[in-house]
Amino acid sequence: MALDRWIALVILLISLTYGYAAYFTMDASLPPFMRFNAIWPSTFPKVLSVLAAICALIILLGPQTGESGPKAGDIDHRRLGDYNIGQALGLLVLMVAYALLLRPAGFLISTVAFLTLGAVILGERKLQFLLPITALAAGSVWYLVQEVLGIFLSPWPIFFGVGG
């Protein structure tokens, strides 16, 4: 089965779950006075879930769309191994790690680590250039966000006592 049909199947399951919630569980918590309204919180979702399920079924069961194979310049997902899939996954893991460490480790340390490791994953080895550039970038972004835009960003790790 082609990838677009697998995705249609997943979306079909999502819309069925969504529809189940809209049709069977949501209305139970509706206060009595709202039951007189012409529209309930579940009305619109009910319509959406049916339409989405129909569309997903059309893609899932419908005829194969004419063009197969990737267009020029696009990525062929059937040959993902030929691309830098390892680097892409590495960067995604790094992004998750950044999300988890941003609060505990503070903005400056986690950002410098993120930018440096990101470049290293992509194959950069000249740390003597990399570290000063990332440190400078992290510092200036922090200054811009904190001082110019006025959004609080805790710069240092949480155990320094200034973290938020």
Partner 1 sequence: MFEGIMIGLSSAFSLTNLMMVIGGCLIGTFIGMLPGLGPMSIISIMIPVAITIGDPSAALILLAGVYYGAIFGGSTSSILINAPGVASTVATSFDGYPLARQGKAGKALTVAAISSFCGGSIGAVLLMIFAPALATVALLFHSAEYFALMVVGLSAIAAFAGTGQVVKALLMTLLGLIMATVGEGALFNMPRFTMGIMDLQSGFGFITLAMAMFALPEALYLVLDPSRSKTEGGSNEIKDLRITRDEARAIAPVIGRQSIQGFLIGVLPGAGATIASFLGYAVERNIAPKEEQEQFGKGSVKGLAAPESANNAACTGSFVPLLTLGIPGSGTTAILLGALIALNVSPGPRLMIDEPQIFWAVIISMYVGNLVLLVLNLPLIPYIAKVLAVPRNYLIPFILFFTLMGAYIGQNNATELLILVGLGICATLLRFADYPLAPLLIGFILGSMLEDNFARAMQLYDGMGFLLDRPMTLALLVLAALLVLLPSYRARRARLRQVGVSDGD
Phi, psi of 73 (to 5 degrees): 85, -5
Question: How many angstroms separate the most distant Cα atoms in the chain?
Answer: 70
136 near partner 1 (CB under 8 A): no
H/E element holding 12? helix 3-20
In the complex, least distance from residue 61 CB atom to partner 1, rounded to whole angstroms: 11
User: Does the protein bind partner 1 through residue 32 (CB under 8 A)?
Assistant: no
Amino acid at 59: I
122 vs 162, beta carbon nearer partner 1: 122
Shortest distance, CB of residue 132 to partner 1, whole angstroms?
12
CA angle at residue 117 from 115 to 123, to 5 degrees?
110
Helices (H), 36-164: 43-61, 85-105, 107-121, 127-143
Name the DSSP class of 146: I
Site for partner 1 in 139-158 (CB under 8 A): 141, 145, 149-152
Binding mask 44-63 for partner 1 (x = CB under 8 A): xx--xx-xx--xx-xx--xx
**What is the CA 98 to chain-centroid distance, rounded?**
14
Quote the crossing angle between the two packed helices 85-105 and 107-121, to the nearest 10°.
Answer: 170
With CB under 8 A as the contact rule, the residue among 33, 61, 67, 147 that binds partner 1 is: 67
Residues at the site binding partner 1, with contacts judged by CB under 8 A:
2-4, 6-8, 11, 14-15, 18, 21, 26, 29, 34, 37-39, 41, 43-45, 48-49, 51-52, 55-56, 58-59, 62-63, 65-67, 73, 75, 77, 80, 83-85, 87-88, 91-92, 95-96, 98-100, 102-103, 111, 114-115, 118-119, 122-124, 130, 133, 137, 141, 145, 149-152
